[in-house]
A and B are shown apart, each in its own frame.
Chain A
Amino acid sequence: MKNTPRREVSLWEIARVFAVIGITGFGGGLAIIAMMQDICVERRKWLTLEEFTHGVALGQILSAFAVNTSLFVGYRLRGAAGALTAACAFLAPSVAGVIILSWLYFTYHHLPSMQSALHGVSAVVVAVVISAAWSMSRSRLKSFETPILAAAAAALMLFTKVPIPIVLLAAAFYGLLKLRLRRGGANETA
């Protein structure tokens, strides 16, 4: 890709674009990332596809990656102020929506028809959680360790009171230990 001369993008423009994504980006996760790519890379040419892909990869490592991708794009354009503007603009419509829905929920959830509606919905939420577990570990199923680690973590959560941070730290530590041992064994330089 050519080195596109980067013009100064105003914070207001960043806010507008990400608010539009935050309002219309239904469909979650990847659908939103695709939308951001279309708007920020293809149409507005704010950053190159390669840069954008790096941002998505980083975002996936960390938390909710649509928010992180917004932070990354905003940061590339206008530093920390751009990052915060993009993330806040992206989240604001959802947060406003959740507050309104929460108010409706806590006001009316005792109504019989609301109860009926919510009964079916709970089953969907459980399915969403399972499918999230599946989609994040599927690409790692080639390794025999993946199901063992998953089963160990699940057992710790179900049958013991070990705090979740400890479970996560132990898994991360095990990964580092393996790397250390492998490096020590092969004596390779990084």
Chain B
Amino acid sequence: MRRLEWLLALPVIKIGWMFLKIGLLFFGGGYVLIPIIHRELVLGQHLITQQEFLDGAAISQLTPGPLAVIATFAGYKIGGVVGALVGTIAVFTPGTLLMLFLSHSYARFAKQESVKQVLNTLIPAIAGLLVAAAWILGKESIVHAPGLAIFALSLVALIRFRTSPAILIGAAAIIGVVFKL
């Protein structure tokens, strides 16, 4: 028992265990990780700051990988390159196992009435959590008119024109430097 506690105190094990737990909730398009990681790492354990969280989300959107690679960023902050790798593997493990299982007998699941019904109530709840997370993040980071303008324009571009987030992030960074926001 004592030996186990010592093991859990190791940073690498701690990161792995933490992201494994986060990974268990990793469904519904991956974006549900935003409220979960924010609450766990920023508000709960103060492992990364709110600003770092926002910047990490931006960095993860610059790559072709899913938003979940924010676990790579957070893992890097907590435990360097090893932390980044451990965090990434841990966050993907539960979903990967489930997907392997579902791939094996997929025809049965895709058509299940209960699966559809659960999604009908689960996805709106996830959307609500995302709006709440956006509110918490926006309240502190969008404080002046230029920020508000970038937010509004990005929203239109994303929804109406399906612009890639990476392009908007690049453009916003350039605007920030040029106008010294």
A interface residues, Cβ below 8 angstroms from B: 21-28, 30-32, 54-55, 57-68, 71-72, 75-76, 80, 83-84, 87, 90-91, 93-95, 97-99, 101-103, 105-106, 109, 113, 116-137, 140, 143, 145-147, 149-155, 157-158, 164-165, 167-168, 170-172, 174-176, 178-179, 190
Q: What's the Cα separation between A26 and B174 when bound, in Å?
A: 19
Interface residues of chain B: helix, strand, loop or mixed (majority) = helix
Query: Could you tell me if A98 and B36 are in contact, using CB atoms closer than 8 angstroms?
Result: no
B interface residues, Cβ below 8 angstroms from A: 24-32, 34-36, 39, 51, 54-69, 72-73, 76-77, 81, 84-85, 88, 92, 95-96, 98-100, 102-104, 106-107, 109-110, 113-115, 117-138, 141-142, 146-148, 150-152, 154-155, 158-159, 162, 164-166, 168-169, 172-177, 179-181
The answer to whether residues A175 and B121 also contact, given A116-B180, A158-B135 and a CB cut-off of 8 A, is: yes
- Closest chain-A Cβ to B34's Cβ sits at a distance in Å of 6
Q: What's the Cα separation between A133 and B73 when bound, in Å?
A: 23
Query: Could you tell me if B36 and A164 are in contact, using CB atoms closer than 8 angstroms?
Result: yes
The answer to whether residues A54 and B110 also contact, given A137-B124, A140-B120 and a CB cut-off of 8 A, is: yes
The answer to whether residues A91 and B92 also contact, given A23-B64, A120-B146, A164-B25 and a CB cut-off of 8 A, is: yes
| CB-based nearest A residue for B30 | A64
